[in-house]
Amino acid sequence: MTGRRKKTKRLQFRHQRGVTLIELVVTMTVASIVVAFMVVFIKSPVDAYLAQSRRADLVDEADGALRLMSRDLRAALPNSVRVTTSGTVSVIEFLATVDGARYQSNGVPNSPTDLDFTQPDGAFATTVPFTQLTLPWTSTRHYIVIYNVGVSGANAYEMANVITPVGTTITVTAGATSNQNLVTLSPAMDFAWPSSGNRFYIVSGPVTYLCDTSTGALSRYSGYPITTVQPTSAASLTGAGASVGVVATDVSNCGFAYSAGTAQRNSSATLTLSLTRSGETIQLFQQVQLTNAP
């Protein structure tokens, strides 16, 4: 019995021996080969997914920037768009409108509701109501513009003839009918020329989009005074008191162009924006049709 127990123990010890170093090395080698193959097959799809995600993010950012610019430009005062490009900087500026209507002009002398173009007039009525103002409405920081055609003598940037002076008190109240609003100006304004469609606009001020590829940023500036000379640098805009907001980053290329309209067609603005991030570059193009009837 004793010899049989010893033989059984020797067999148990033989079956319970550990892993040898050679077996461990072989196992690790095989595992490394398997992992290497897995990396080869998985890396490409993962890289493609990450690249696609980067491109999608870039497209979303560029599309959002162009949508914002397009929305602002569609509300621009007719014939007020100015474009300048210098080195790495591209600038587009326009006068932003908050609302517009048609003034009453029936040719009745000294009528309290007709807008008189032969002398300063401080009160007139509209033939259609404003749609964006909550009445009664008053402001000393806005402007009324009539017949801005963008040429000398009829250019709102000159702050004469077609636009009310700085500090003019503009008040809009309800009229006698639902289609009529009453507009008062203090001091009274002598507008130089009537509009063929009796159009007039309420302007909040200038807006500039400045793209600088040296800093990789597209920024929006507002809240600065109207000037004859277009501000074309971030320093000149902030120095004039403009507030700024960054619209897009990682900008590698941008271009703004403006085509003036004619009696037969609208004006248009062409916007090109390229963004680059982590080796991925996307470029979007947008053309915006603008009203040019003053």
Inside any domain, residue 47: no
pLDDT at 19 over 90: no
Enclosing domain of residue 229: 58-290
pLDDT at 40 over 60: yes
Inside any domain, residue 99: yes
Inside any domain, residue 198: yes
Selected residue with higher pLDDT from 261 and 14: 261
CB contact burial 116-137 (16+ within 10 A = b; e otherwise): beeeebebbbbbebbeeeeeeb
**In this structure, are residues 103 and 138 in contact, taking their beta carbons and an 8 Å threshold?**
no
Cα 68 to Cα 121: distance, rounded to the nearest angstrom: 37
pLDDT on residue 216: 96
pLDDT on residue 5: 54
Burial-class residue 288 by CB neighbours within 10 Å (0-12, 13-18, 19+): buried
| Confidence at 145, pLDDT banded by 50, 70, 90 | very high
DSSP string, 208-236: EEEEETTTTEEEEEES----SSPP-SHHH
Inside any domain, residue 50: no
pLDDT at 50 over 70: no
Inside any domain, residue 93: yes
Inside any domain, residue 191: yes
Domain count within the chain: 1
Q: How far is CA 73 from CA 68, 166, 205, 287, in A?
A: 9, 23, 13, 11
pLDDT on residue 45: 67
Inside any domain, residue 8: no
pLDDT on residue 279: 85
pLDDT at 229 over 70: yes
pLDDT on residue 292: 82
Mean pLDDT of 102-128: 90
Inside any domain, residue 5: no
Mean pLDDT of 83-90: 94
pLDDT on residue 20: 78
pLDDT on residue 55: 78
Sign, Cα dihedral of 178, 179, 182, 185: positive
Selected residue with higher pLDDT from 177 and 43: 177
Most confident of 39-48, 67-76, 105-114, 285-294: 67-76
Sign, Cα dihedral of 108, 110, 112, 116: positive
pLDDT on residue 38: 67
CB contact burial 93-112 (16+ within 10 A = b; e otherwise): bbbbbbbbbebbbeeeeebe
pLDDT at 11 over 70: no
pLDDT on residue 30: 75
pLDDT on residue 2: 53
Mean pLDDT, rounded, of the chain: 89
Give residues with Cβ within 8 angstroms of 65, minimum separation 6: 218, 247, 248, 273
Selected residue with higher pLDDT from 38 and 194: 194
Range list of H helices, 115-268: 234-239
HSE value, Cβ hemisphere, 13 Å, CA-based, for 26: 5
pTM of the model: 0.83
